[in-house]
Amino acid sequence: MASQVPLLTLARLLVLIGGIVLLVSGILEAANVGGLMDLGINLARLGSLTGIVVGILVGILALVGSREVDNPAWSLILLILGLFVGSLGGILVFIGGLIGLVSHYVKV
């Protein structure tokens, strides 16, 4: 049990940093998107807007879930969300969820 604590701390830290990176990058991308009031259909802008919203939502979920990494269900959720987003923050969330899952099931 004593060797689980550093792994869970590392997992929490990685998920927390990944969530912050996702949130900040999503907010910065949202501030950079120009012409949001243009009502013409532009699929490229719609795709980037969807990516921004998903990045911000996953960042918020990662910040909330960073406290619950010792729970295997939350670790699995974070693992899937990090895989779904796929940016630098998503990779950190994925690795943090993977470490949380491994530390729960593998007794060292």
Total number of domains constituting the chain: 1
Q: What are the residues whose beta carbons fall under 8 Å from the beta carbon of 47, sequence distance 6 or more?
A: none
The residue ranking higher by pLDDT, 54 or 2, is: 54
Q: What are 34-55's pLDDT values in tens digits?
A: 555 555 555 555 667 788 888 8
Provide the domain limits for residue 73. 4-105
Q: What are 73-93's pLDDT values in tens digits?
A: 999 999 999 888 878 899 999
